[in-house]
Amino acid sequence: MKIILIGGSGFVGTRLIDNLLEIPDVEVLNIDKNNSEKYPELTRIGNVMDWQTLAYHSKEGDVVVLLAAEHRDDVSPVSLYYDINVEGMRNTLKAMDANGIKRLVFTSSVAVYGLDKDNPNETSTIDPFNHYGKSKWQAEQVLHVWHRSHPDWDIKIVRPTVIFGEGNRGNVYNLLKQIAGGRFMMIGKGNNKKSMSYIGNIVAFIWFLITREKTGYEVYNYVDKPDFTTKDLVHHTGHILGKKIPTIRIPYWLGILGGYGFDSLAFITRKKWNISSVRVKKFCAVTQFSSSKAMASGFVPPYTMEQGLRRMLEREF
């Protein structure tokens, strides 16, 4: 089986390649606009805005895993979200069609549901609050329309929640770094639950979906349980690292006011800061999602949440 990763030079793609290379009779090729630091020999340079290059490099592929995305909170201009996430989907489908590849695993996001929702599942109302979520939903719609005219395709969509793990440098890493370093500031009460996904489980689930070859169109949330509150994360971090974690608490209104201040500062200086109103809102929001469909599929996560958190903390801090 030849698996084509599009956008596989980043955190998730690198860990997925790690796993795939351990499986007999699996060939892997990565197409990305950036070379892979770990697997340059498996990488071909290509942009999702150029379907012909995608088609050229993906010849003789059996399955495509589409990971390429604009996902940061501070992407500018915002049109990049739609260029990469939506037009990139159209170009991927065009390249696959040119090569007769009919199997796709697409990593979307639980951001399509919005914030502070009541444990949404795959049939819940779509209500994205930012351009990232909106563009991911538009990409899913492109894929849904495509499947209507290509019913013989095998299409699987994974909507993961925030992904953490050793080697990651995203929002969870920054949060844990602050906690572990004793520089953590709790905004609000910290009782808001946060659904998270451990990288080792996400890549195992993607491989699980690849092995389930079946014509059709399926959507899966992916979340590792149980859901931790922000206070739980502080507690587990201190316990794993053997530290007493001092915590400064400030009210939400003051935190969001500070976020708007950094928004203004970013606009004036044209610099990107680690604090913004969007990040404060996301930090304080309930981001809890159902993964009952994925867990009823026969997939068994190889790691518990506690094991994943311990592996990351012990490796990074």
Query: Annotated active-site positions, please?
Result: 132
Tokens of 203: 């890549």
Q: What are phi and psi of 282, to 5 degrees?
A: -65, -40
Alpha helices in 242-304 (DSSP H): 252-269, 277-284, 292-295
Amino acid at 251: P
Identify the three-state secondary structure at position 316: helix
Give CA–CA dist 157/89, Å, rounded.
12
For the four alpha carbons of 116, 175, 12 and 297, in that order, the dihedral sign comes to: negative
3: β partners: 28, 63
Amino acid at 279: R
Alpha helices in the chain (DSSP H): 11-20, 51-57, 79-82, 88-99, 131-149, 171-180, 199-211, 230-241, 252-269, 277-284, 292-295, 305-316
44: β partners: 31
Pairing mode of beta strands 27-32, 2-6: parallel
Please say whether the beta carbons of 188 and 284 come within 8 A.
yes
Give CA–CA dist 178/81, Å, rounded.
29
Please say whether the beta carbons of 110 and 195 come within 8 A.
yes
196: β partners: 162, 224
Give CA–CA dist 111/131, Å, rounded.
10
Cβ burial of 202 (10 Å; 0-12, 13-18, 19+) is buried
